[in-house]
Chain A
Amino acid sequence: MQKLVRTAVLYTAITSVFLGLVYPLAITAVAHLVFPSQAAGQLLHNSQGELVGSALIGQPFSGPRYFHSRPSAAGAGYDAAASSGSNLAPTNKALIDRVQSSVAAEQAMNHSAAAVPVDLVTASGSGLDPDITPAAAEYQVLRVAAARAIDPARLRLLVQQHTTQRQFGLLGEPRVAVLPLNLALDALLVSR
């Protein structure tokens, strides 16, 4: 028994250094050499060099001039140090109330009685979803165009440029990246 314990402790000590330190640090080193931007989180900077977010992480938007992201249950909303879904059941009153108030808010802001695309009024699993569906983007086009006084056709083109199709034409779902799209909107204003 004593020998067994000694073996187990030694084995754990040696393999923990290999699996718990050498392996992750070696992967870190390779990642930095080969894929430096991906390893760092695809961070986005504005023209002043300020960090404004990550291409992969969603951000909250509430005014009429920006495309809105989905509701978020991460911290107070899009807190990327506290990722979380709402974990509300489909039969939970709190979920239904929250969705109905989001529906009312979106319909009021868009001056539209049309049904709101489901992703725009439901919280994502991570609370950090960077994307909305093409349907949710289209739902907001006229409002953003009016708020910025630009031609809706031009705006649709911009949305299309920020739409990612299915990977290899097969995997996942088509989606619009909200933060890069909104950054492009602001850049549009500057360049005019």
Chain B
Amino acid sequence: MTTNGLLQIVVFFAILLVSAKPLGVYIARVFERKRTWLDFALAPMERLLYKATGIDPEKEMRWTEYLAAMLVFSAATFALTYMVERMQHMLPFNPQHLAGVAPALAWNTAVSFTTNTNWQSYSPEGTMSYLTEMLGLASHNFWSAAAGLALAIAFIRGIARREMRTLGNFWADLTRGTLWVLVPLSSVLAIALVSQGVVQNLRSYDTAHLVETQSQTGADGKIATVTTQSIAQGPVASQEAIKMLGTNGGGFFNANSAHPFENPTPLTNLLQMLAIFLIPAALTVTLGQMTGSPKHGWAVFATMSMLWLAGTLLCYHAESQANPLMHGVAQQLTSMQSGGNMEGKEVRFGIANSALFATVTTDASCGAVNAMHDSFTPLGGLVPLVNILLGEVIFGGVGAGMYGMLIFVILAVFIAGLMVGRTPEYFGKKIEAYDVQMAMLYLLIFPLVILGFSAVSVLAPGFGLSSLANHGPHGLSEILYAYTSATGNNGSAFAGLNANTPWYNTSLGIAMFAGRFLMLIPMLAVAGNLAAKKRVPPTAGTFPVTTPLFTVLLTGVIVIVGALTFFPVLALGPVLEHLLLHAGRSF
């Protein structure tokens, strides 16, 4: 670790801290339908959209209605993306004349983008036309993020409201999140990215003449002469911006944010990392605003920050280490190189920015990568895996991180209540059996899906193990990471695993589906139940949710629940690999 590396991490956090409050206050105003400075342009568009679609934005919805609207909307967007993929060869903006996408892959991809996962079983530059990228995928980056945002706002309303049966109007929340938050932010970010060199065009791929002709030995042993380089292009910046801001993470290119056309400079890298955390961090302020307790928002922010920092430092430290199996390689830090584990990393980012990016993208449910997690050291790769396994509540996805965290808050308040032997309260709402049952259901669906599918894959040499690129304990990590990423709606990968097979495309699709939609049901049930409750005045026995003690308790609950659930499998994967690596074993 270097002073400069640590300083870059500090600068990243400082900018995040400063931006969280103004944006969080703004988001609260947007969803409380107060005036904002963008109303002059956006309000007419909003009215027009409601008129054309027959939406009454004032109509309040119960949690079941809110859920139904979200599910039907997701189904409609899913169908559109599936159709665009299948028919891309007949549609415009396809200069490379790419064929229609095969059914299993089109299904997997449509589920992936509908659920805000952006898991990619395919290599985009050889599979998806520009139209599919723009109309089928980038549009989904807006929709799935706006839907997540709407759900988080609904949950916050459930906490803030009293003796009401409704949580707001899904369509109005969806529209205001898209128009007032996502579109303005991504437009500005997209242009900033272009200025640094992120490409934005609709041209066919370029063919360059190599400066030095290369001879390459093919798999068949024949020597081929290579004189040209094909350079993929596309409307990248517009998609890159919302890919980050919406914590989607699906790359325009296979290498994602490691690709120089997606992430050309250290500045674009910083902007991209900030874009991932920006809205989730602001939502803690929004929580404080809408519940009338800004300190509660900051207490939650502090929990997230502590877990983020711990992950970042561990990952940075692990990736700075030399690989003991390599000989004759200068891996130490000097003034002329950052050293460390450079397999799968870009020189312009070095160790510090690769470790920070990996931590940020998995704390949130983004899943974009600027370095290949599969090639991380065992402990460096453990950090992203654990981040997702903790439920992506360390800032988390747009909206999804906030409602996931609020489930943990309810659990923490419940545990605090048990300790003092009183009925727990959260903002004066009694937390009762039904709320805790639903919260536990939310928390149990997650490991059930991950561990269930991983177990089946590990026991199936024919269709599970055959996709592995790495063996030994790392193979287990590869499979575990895939289902963790899918169920957590993250989308990053230990990408050596060949997931474009019928088994993985199907089972990962189901995992993504369960991770998004099955977990919504208990979450919204809690919100609806909370909204209906009376608020009782606080007493001397009420556990305050604004103090450092609360922050520590909440952090403890998250870590303990995660550790108790997943420690055994982590011990057999990354931890064992770490021990074997330093004992000199390879596989």
Contacts and interface: CB of A to CB of B under 8 A. Distances in A.
**Real binding pair:** yes
Nearest to A12: B76
A113 to B, nearest CB: 8
Contacts of A79: 229-230
A140 interface: no
B191 interface: yes
Interface stretch (B298-306, B370-378, B405-413): B370-378
Interface string B352-382: 0110000000000000011110111110000
Interface stretch (B49-57, B158-166, B521-529, B557-565): B49-57
B200 A117 contact: no
A91 B216 contact: no
Contacts of A57: 229, 231, 260-261
Interface residues of A, number: 114
B515 to A, nearest CB: 22
A111 B75 CA distance: 63
Contact of B203 (A5, A40, A117, A132): A40
A118 B260 contact: no
Contact of B206 (A8, A41, A121, A138): A41
Nearest to B216: A76
A119 B206 contact: no
Chain B binding surface SS class: mixed
A7 B344 contact: no
Contacts of B75: 8
A9 B344 CA distance: 42
A9 B201 CA distance: 30
Interface in B162-218: 171, 174, 178, 183, 186-187, 190-191, 194-203, 205-212, 214, 216, 218
Counting chain A CB atoms within 10 Å of each CB, the highest count among B8, B198, B342 belongs to B342
A82 B127 CA distance: 10
Contacts of B208: 43-44, 51-54, 59
Contacts of B494: 87
A34 B194 CA distance: 9
A87 B206 contact: no
Contact of A172 (B239, B265, B343, B470): B265
A90 B259 CA distance: 22
A168 B209 CA distance: 34
Nearest to A24: B238
B572 interface: no
Nearest to B469: A87
Nearest to A5: B72
Contacts of A66: 211-212
Given A63-B212, A91-B586, A133-B338, A118 B472 contact: no
A173 B338 contact: yes
B366 to A, nearest CB: 16
Interface string B449-474: 00000000000000000000111111
A183 interface: yes
Interface in B234-281: 235, 237-239, 253-255, 258-261, 264-267, 269-270
Contacts of A34: 191, 194-195
Contact of A86 (B264, B344, B586): B344
Nearest to B124: A83
Contact of A125 (B255, B264, B265, B337): B255
B347 A31 contact: no
Interface residues on B, range: 35 or more
Contacts of A126: 253, 255, 258-260, 346
Contacts of B580: 91
Contact of B471 (A19, A92, A119, A173): A92
B586 A92 contact: yes
Interface in A62-103: 62-63, 66, 70, 74, 76-93, 95-96, 99-100, 103
Nearest to A133: B337
Given A80-B232, A125-B372, A39 B329 contact: no
B403 interface: no
Contacts of A82: 123, 125-126, 254
Interface in B411-443: none
Given A5-B72, A119-B337, 16 more contacts: A11-B49, A27-B235, A28-B202, A85-B374, A87-B374, A91-B378, A92-B474, A99-B326, A99-B329, A100-B328, A103-B327, A121-B329, A125-B346, A130-B260, A167-B266, A172-B269
28 contacts: A13-B80, A14-B53, A23-B183, A35-B194, A35-B195, A38-B199, A57-B261, A59-B210, A66-B211, A77-B214, A79-B229, A80-B230, A83-B259, A87-B495, A87-B496, A88-B375, A88-B496, A92-B586, A96-B325, A104-B328, A118-B337, A118-B342, A122-B344, A126-B258, A131-B347, A132-B347, A133-B337, A183-B211
